[in-house]
Amino acid sequence: MPDCPTFQMKVFLKNKKRARRLTQELNTVDRSDFKKISEIVRELLGKSEGAFINPPFYCDYGYNVYTGDYFFANRNCQFLDGSPIRFGDHVFIAPNCVFTTAEHAIDAEQR
């Protein structure tokens, strides 16, 4: 990403970098170290108690993902959380799922 002097861009890049660092850590941790995985997920999502994500996992920010009790996401899930993504209690997500709030213009002339 290019350097940009605006405050908004600096905050954006800082948050993206944080999420990338944490997802990299999550995706390279020993898959049998459930305690460490849980710690990384808690740091990435912040307010989500008891959430478990089976790596690999990808997200834009992490802090826009809200989970209820007994949340589980299986491997290779992606959360494009430019806006909030909310999951209730007792949610189990299958492998290879994508949840996205990102949108772009559909009209080719607008892109």
pLDDT tens-digit series, residues 27-36: 999 999 999 9
- Active site includes 104? yes
Residue 106 has pLDDT above 80, yes or no: no
Q: Which candidate, 83, 32, 75, places its Cα nearest to that of 57?
A: 75
Mean pLDDT of 31-59: 92
Q: Enter the pTM of the model.
A: 0.84
Distance between CA atoms of residues 26 and 28, nearest Å: 6
104, 106, 108, 110: the catalytic one is 104
**Structure-derived torsion over alpha carbons of residues 57, 42, 94, 102, reported in degrees to the nearest 10:** -60
Phi-psi region of 62 (alpha: psi -120 to 50; beta: other; left: phi over 0): left
Mean pLDDT of 6-34: 93
